[in-house]
Chains A and B, each alone.
Chain A
Amino acid sequence: NAGVMQNPRHLVRRRGQEARLRCSPMKGHSHVYWYRQLPEEGLKFMVYLQKENIIDESGMPKERFSAEFPKEGPSILRIQQVVRGDSAAYFCASSPTNAGPKNIQYFGAGTRLSVL
């Protein structure tokens, strides 16, 4: 059973370009979470999705950022018109379908975005 797969591992973009980060959850997991980790900072919750639904996006910036988790395929975190402040490590985590207060989130290795 493969773990949470994120790609690419490293992504370099110029200011104004778009960044697409992909996350394939563990097999059987239908809950996906995206986090951002700025240098020297703790992880910050961005968005929580289930298949085809955004459950909580309270941590997402209001502009330029969007996330989806389609019925088929990986979850996508999309950042439009990137700026230097978007440079960070973006982590995805997944949890099993019957998630409760003790659900374990399994993290991917992250995508490190660098904006030039």
Chain B
Amino acid sequence: KNQVEQSPQSLIILEGKNCTLQCNYTVSPFSNLRWYKQDTGRGPVSLTIMTFSENTKSNGRYTATLDADTKQSSLHITASQLSDSASYICVVSATTGGSYIPTFGRGTSLIVHP
């Protein structure tokens, strides 16, 4: 069964600090891994996408890493801002007959305090 596990479930940090969110997956056959940011009451917004051959991808203060051997990914947020408070969701897609079916993690809820 395809699964995506994220940790921690929630995280509170002070503004300006860095943090790292973790994602472990068992999805096969692997196609790609994405990180999304979901603000409360809104739809998810894509941050990064990585395929099998990519092991790091940056988007501003967000840097995602992928270790396809251990099936782990991390999302590192640098110099956090209040607007970073959101749920961060790891999504891993499998290829099935040409389509890409995603499995979503439950997300890590990040709160940034001033």
A residues adjacent to B (C-beta < 8 A):
4, 35, 40-45, 48, 55-56, 58-59, 91, 93, 101-110
Contact = CB atoms under 8 A, between A and B. Distances in A.
Nearest to B36: A107
Interface residues of B, number: 25
Interface string B29-56: 0011000000001111110010100000
Contacts of A45: 101-104
Contacts of A35: 104
Consensus secondary structure, chain A interface: loop
A33 to B, nearest CB: 8
Contacts of B96: 56, 58
A48 B105 CA distance: 19
B70 interface: no
Contact of B49 (A44, A56, A102): A102
Contacts of B105: 42
B43 A102 contact: no
